[in-house]
């Protein structure tokens, strides 16, 4: 993890935050940290405890479940992962891996 994405303007570029004011974006930004990851990095593993919510700003990830027949889900900029484990207080429901270099925000 090397480069920190610029704040708060890249958040506004994401649909999730498109309607937020600059003040709201600054508040959200104060709760998050920007990171970059290399291809192949694992963001989370299925069946582990979840404590982070991640929003992808650049690159793509693949989400997969052990023993599941469907192909992995591919997610890109604007997608978020990790929210279900936080909301439901359950273990992670999938393993998520970077399939390209990745920039993301973590909270």
In this structure, the strands spanning 102-106 and 54-58 are antiparallel
18-46 average pLDDT score: 92
For residues 61 and 43, is the Cβ–Cβ distance under 8 A?
A: yes
Other CB atoms within 10 Å distance of the CB of residue 56: 22
More confident site: 88 or 62: 62
Quote the percentage of the chain above a pLDDT of 70: 88
**Residue 77 reports pLDDT greater than 70:** yes
Q: Please tell me the number of Cα atoms within 13 Å of 40 on its side-chain side.
A: 0
d(CA 82, CA 37): 16
When the pLDDT of each residue in the chain is averaged and rounded to a whole number, the result is: 86
Q: Give the DSSP letter of residue 16.
A: G
In the chain, pLDDT over 90 holds for what percent of residues? 41
Strands 95-98 and 42-44: antiparallel
Q: How confident is the model at residue 67 (pLDDT cuts 50, 70, 90)?
A: low
Phi, psi of 73 (to 5 degrees): -80, 135
């Amino acid at each position: 993890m090397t480069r920190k994405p610029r704040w708060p303007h890249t958040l506004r570029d994401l649909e999730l935050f498109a309607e937020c004011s600059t003040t709201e974006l600054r508040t959200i930004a104060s709760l998050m940290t920007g990171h970059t990851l290399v291809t192949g990095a694992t963001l989370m593993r299925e069946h582990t405890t979840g404590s982070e919510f991640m929003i992808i700003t650049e690159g793509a990830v693949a989400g997969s479940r052990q023993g599941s027949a469907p192909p992995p889900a591919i997610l890109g900029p604007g997608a978020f992962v990790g929210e279900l484990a936080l909301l439901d207080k359950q273990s992670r429901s999938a393993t998520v891996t970077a399939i390209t270099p990745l920039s993301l925000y973590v909270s």
